[in-house]
Amino acid sequence: MADYTDAPTISVEPEGNDFVFTVKYTASFTPDDLAFQDGFAESVALFESDKGSVGGGFSDDHIINQPIRTYRPSAAIQTRTFIFKVERSKLDTELGGEEIYAQVHFRRNANEPSKVRNSAILPLAV
């Protein structure tokens, strides 16, 4: 069954009043996964950690979700990438610096639960 090969990564570049985020994850797929006709669904959300650790608390600030995308894997190991802009004002959730992390979801397009994995924290001065 498909699974992450390691934790997702997150990076960011400023662009005017926005930030451009790049989130990547690598997944491994079995021959059964590769033959699955309905493919996979994936999405990513950004959070600001209020406890200073990934998933540090129930009060982590949800920043944004990216739309769900579907795809059919073409190799046994595949790296997937999300690139998207976020307005600076959406990232400014508290006084001082922000601690941003990405949460990636992916699953077969079937009645199965998503596999969820968080990136490391990315410190960000807004």
Beta bridge partners of 103: 45, 118
CA dihedral angle for residue 88, residue 94, residue 95, residue 98, rounded to 10 degrees: -60
Note the pTM of the prediction, 2 decimals: 0.91
Residue numbers of the domain that contains 86 = 3-124
Residue 10 has pLDDT above 90, yes or no: yes
Residue 14 has pLDDT above 70, yes or no: yes
**Which range has the worst mean pLDDT, 29-33, 54-58, 99-103, 120-124?**
54-58
Number of independent structural domains in the chain:
1
Q: What is the pLDDT of residues 46-102, one digit of tens each?
A: 999 877 566 655 678 899 999 999 999 999 999 999 999 999 988 887 767 889 999
Which is more confidently placed, 53 or 35?
A: 35
Residue position matching structure tokens 């406890």: 51
102: domain CATH number is: 2.60.40.10
